């Protein structure tokens, strides 16, 4: 896998993972919950865990292609903000969209 394809794969994976907590009522889309409506706090916890999962997969891809570069706190702050931007459509769908009927 070349660098460009791996980059787009990680971006697509991040977009899907960021919206996953908002489009289903299961924990991590796998575990059914006793109380069906998930709380916002559980969705945010899922979002944080999925951020680290996607980051881990990106690190593995980078390490397989060559040297994995060391990152500082600025990199993680920017990628966390980008992950939140990716999650915005799911948040709007779940909490801000008007339901008619």
Cα–Cα distance between 65 and 79 in angstroms, integer? 20
pTM of the model: 0.89
* CA dihedral sign of residues 59, 60, 63, 65: negative
CA nearest neighbour of 18 among 61, 59, 53? 53
Alpha helix locations (H) across the chain?
A: 3-19, 40-65, 73-91
- What would the pLDDT profile of 38-96 be if each residue is shown by its tens digit? 889 999 999 999 999 999 999 999 999 988 888 999 999 999 999 999 999 999 999 88
- What would the pLDDT profile of 5-35 be if each residue is shown by its tens digit? 999 999 999 999 999 999 988 888 888 888 8
Cβ atoms of 61 and 9 within 8 Å: the answer is yes
- Domain spans in the chain, listed from the N-terminal domain onward: 3-96
């Amino acid at each position: 896998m070349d660098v460009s394809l791996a980059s787009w794969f990680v971006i697509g994976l991040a977009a899907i993972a960021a919206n996953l907590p908002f489009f289903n009522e299961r924990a991590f889309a796998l575990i059914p919950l006793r109380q069906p409506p998930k709380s916002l706090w559980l969705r945010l916890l899922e979002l944080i865990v999925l951020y680290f999962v996607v980051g881990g997969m990106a690190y593995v891809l980078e390490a397989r292609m060559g040297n994995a570069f060391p990152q500082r706190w600025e990199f993680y702050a920017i990628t966390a903000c980008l992950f939140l931007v990716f999650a915005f459509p799911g948040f709007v769908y779940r909490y801000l969209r008007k339901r008619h009927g």
